[in-house]
Amino acid sequence: MKKLSRKTFFKGLALGTISLPLAIRSCGGKNLAQDSGPNIITGKKYKWKMTTTWPPDFPALGEGCNLFAQWVEEMSAGRMQIQVFGGGELVPPLEAFNAVRSGAAEIGHGAGYYWKGLLPAAQFFASIPFGMNAQQMNAWLYSGGGLELWEKLYADVGLVPFPGGNTGVQMGGWFNREINSIEDFKGLKMRIPGVGSKVLKKAGGAPVLLPGGELYTGLERGVIDATEWIGPYHDYKMGFYQIAKYYYTPGWHEAGTTLEFFINKPKFDALEPDLQAILRTAAARVNVWMLSEFEAKNTIYLEKLIDEKVDIRKFPDEVLATLRQYNEEALQEEIAGDPLSREAYASYDAFRKKAASWAKLTEKVFYNSLQI
Ligand code: CA
C-alpha cells in the first residue's frame, strides 16, 4: 500500500480521515497502538463550552479565555473547539464553578476567591492580602507543591484546576479621602472583596459589595468613599480618575492574583492524553500571556493617568503595618474550623516566608538601588 508522508499521516489522524488500522498498516505493519500505550489519537472531535466570570472579550481576562480557545483549536488541528461565554451569557458569573461541576459547561475561568463560599480553601490559590506576588505564586504552584495541593482540593469536587493568568500587583484603589493614619479608615465605605474586606472592617471601615458596573456612579454619588479595582490599565478604562481624588499604592490586598481554568474532571479524564496535554499547555501559555499583558498595558496606562494629573499617594508605612496585623487575625479566623483551608494556608505561608527572605535579599535591594 501507499506509504503516507509524515505530515499527511498525522494530519489525517488528527482530522479523523485516516483510521487507526490504516495508520498502523501505513507504518509497515508496526503496531502503533501497542507501542504508544494509551496515547492513541482517535480523531474524535470535541465541542466544549467555557463559562467565564468576565464580561465578553474583557481586556486581558476575557481576551485570555478567547486565546485559550484559539490555541487549543490550533494545537489539536481542530479536534477540540471551545466556545467561550462571558459571565451571564450561559450562567451568571459566580455560578461558573458549579456549572462546570455539573457539566453544563466543560471549562470555566475565574479566580479561586470567587468560590470562597463554596470551597473556602480555594481563595489561597488566587490571592490573600499581604500574600505572594505573581512570580512567587507561579513558583509555589509549579515548583513548590502548590499545584498538587490545588489539584487534590479540586479533585474532591470533581474539577481539575490550571493556573490561567495573573493580574500582577494591583493598586490600592481610588479614594475620596486622604489616608494619613489608620484612623482615616473609620467609617470609610469601600468596595474591597475577600479577606481584604475583613481587614477593612477591623480597621473600622465599612466594606460595600457593589458589582463592577456600579462602581463609577457609586463613587461619584458618595455611595462609597473608595474602591479598589485592578491597576492602571483597567482602572483608566473605568474612568475612576474623573471622580476620585487620590490613587493609592500598593495593592496590599492583591499582590499578584492568580486566575484559573477549571475543567470538569470526568470529562478531562476521558480525553485522549494528547488533548489533556494540549489543554495544560494552552493554560500555561495563557498564564504567561495574561501577566505580560497586564504588565505591558499598566505601564502605558500609568502614563495616561499621570497625564491626567492623577494624585498618586502611598499608604503610610504605619498604616500598612497595622493592616498587616489585622490581616493576620483575619486569616486565622478564615482557617479556623476548616481543615482544607488550614492545609492550603500552611503550604502557602511556608512558601511565602521563604520567598520573602529571598526577595528581601535580592529584589528589594535591587529596586532600592534604582532609586526611582
Ligand atoms: Ca482587585
Cα 326 to ligand 1 centroid, rounded to whole Å: 19
User: 248-302 pLDDT, tens per residue?
Assistant: 999 999 999 999 999 999 999 999 999 999 999 999 999 999 999 999 999 999 9
Cα 3 to ligand 1 centroid, rounded to whole Å: 57
CB half-sphere exposure, 124, CA atoms < 13 A = 30
Cα 210 to ligand 1 centroid, rounded to whole Å: 13
More confident residue, 2 or 274: 274
Percent of the chain with pLDDT over 90: 85
Residue 317 exposed, middle or buried by CB count within 10 Å (0-12, 13-18, 19+): exposed
Contact 121, 137 (CB under 8 A): no
Quick check: 130 pLDDT over 80? yes
The pLDDT assigned to 31 comes to 43
Query: Which grid coordinates belong to 52?
Result: 467565564
Number of Cβ within 10 Å of residue 236's Cβ equals 20
Domains and CATH numbers, the chain: 1-43 (no CATH), 46-169+257-295 (3.40.190.170)
Cα 42 to ligand 1 centroid, rounded to whole Å: 43
CA 370, CA 372: separation in Å to the nearest integer? 5
The pLDDT assigned to 372 comes to 66
Contact 108, 261 (CB under 8 A): yes
Quick check: 2 pLDDT over 60? no
Residues near ion ligand 1 (CB < 5 Å) are 170, 228, 254
Quick check: 180 pLDDT over 80? yes
Backbone angles phi, psi at 175, to 5 degrees: -125, 145
pTM, two decimals, is 0.88
The pLDDT assigned to 183 comes to 98
Q: Which amino acid is at 216?
A: Y
The pLDDT assigned to 211 comes to 78
Cα 127 to ligand 1 centroid, rounded to whole Å: 10
Task: State the Cα angle at 301 between 298 and 302, rounded to 5°.
Answer: 80
The pLDDT assigned to 213 comes to 84
Contact 134, 288 (CB under 8 A): no
User: 10-53 pLDDT, tens per residue?
Assistant: 444 444 443 433 333 334 334 444 444 455 667 899 999 999 99
Cα 96 to ligand 1 centroid, rounded to whole Å: 19
Cα 270 to ligand 1 centroid, rounded to whole Å: 36
